[in-house]
Amino acid sequence: MIAAASTSFGGVISYLTSASNWRGSSGFLERILQHFEYSAETLLIAVAIGLPLGLLSGHTGRGGAVLSMLSNASRALPTLGLLTIFAILIGVGLEAAVIPLIFLAVPSILVNTYVGIRDVDRSLVDAARGMGLRPWQVLFRIEIPVALPLIVLGLRTAALQVVSTATIAAYVGLGGLGRYIIDGQASRNFAELGAGGVLVAAFAIATESMFLVCQWFLVSPGVRARARTS
């Protein structure tokens, strides 16, 4: 059994290191780019939906319960089931894959943003108002910078979920790294299947690292220190 495991492991390694598998329209480079395309498009739309809603409801203090409920419901929806439904309703293609992924990404962004803004020390907000700052200014100059660790965490969580789940695009004839997993499974080619898995994991780790670096640069040092001790 160990011999079998090592030959399949060896098979995965040789599949990954074979130069011809990296080039061409079905090569790793192309599929990584496609995977990035699906993930990026999803996250941009999810941020456009989740961030403003979270900021608005966090700042005004209204609608938090409703948004929280909707987010939990959205999280419970099976992404693969949504994919099949949308593929049948609107046809096989990019939209059918991206819409379910948006359902997956929005909750993290929305809820984390809302909680982050709500958690900003009320005395800071009071002091800002006392200094004469208008609501817009309070939001952008006080609340967002202080809430940034949680907001970026929400983005990071959403990004990680999207990158790992964008493999489902392969079910509807699209590309991406899921192609290797689904094709490898269908034709019992474990080298291909394993290679796909390794690449998705590497992509996810790279995404996580990128967000950690962004967080380090974006979050002000004072807030960073406070977030660590709180």
Partner 1 sequence: MRRFLLPTAIVVMVAGLAACGSSSKTSTPPTTSSSASTTAPNPSVVIGSANFPENEILADIYADVLKAKGVSVTTKLDIGSREIYYKELQNGTLNVFPEYNGALLDYLVPTATAATTSAVDVALTQALPSNLVALQASSAQDKDSVTVTSAFATAHHLTSISDLKALGTITFGGPPEWKTREEGLLGLERVYGLSIDFKPLDESGPLTIAALNDGTIQAGDIFTTDPSVTKYHFVALADPLGLFAAQNVIPIINKSVATPTITNALNAVSAVLTTADLVQLVGAVVNDHVDPSTAAAQFVQQANLG
- Judged by CB under 8 A, the chain residues 82 through 121 that form the site for partner 1 are 84, 87-88, 91-93
Cβ neighbourhood burial of 209 (10 Å; 0-12, 13-18, 19+): exposed
- State how far the Cα of 104 lies from the Cα of 108, in Å rounded to an integer: 8
User: Nearer Cβ to partner 1, position 154 or 175?
Assistant: 175
Token pair in block for residue 13? 């390694």
The single residue among 10, 27, 81, 173 that binds partner 1, judged by CB under 8 A, is 173
Do 148 and 219 contact (CB within 8 A), yes or no?
Answer: yes
**By three-state DSSP, how is residue 25 classified?**
coil
User: Nearer Cβ to partner 1, position 84 or 164?
Assistant: 84
Q: How many helices (H) and strands (E) does the chain have?
A: 11, 0
The single residue among 183, 198, 208, 223 that binds partner 1, judged by CB under 8 A, is 183
Do 163 and 39 contact (CB within 8 A), yes or no?
Answer: yes
> Contact between 171 and partner 1 (CB under 8 A)?
yes
CB 169 → partner 1: shortest distance, Å? 11
> Contact between 179 and partner 1 (CB under 8 A)?
yes
> Contact between 24 and partner 1 (CB under 8 A)?
no
User: Nearer Cβ to partner 1, position 154 or 178?
Assistant: 178
Task: By CB under 8 A, name the binding residues for partner 1.
Answer: 84, 87-88, 91-93, 170-173, 179, 182-183, 185-189
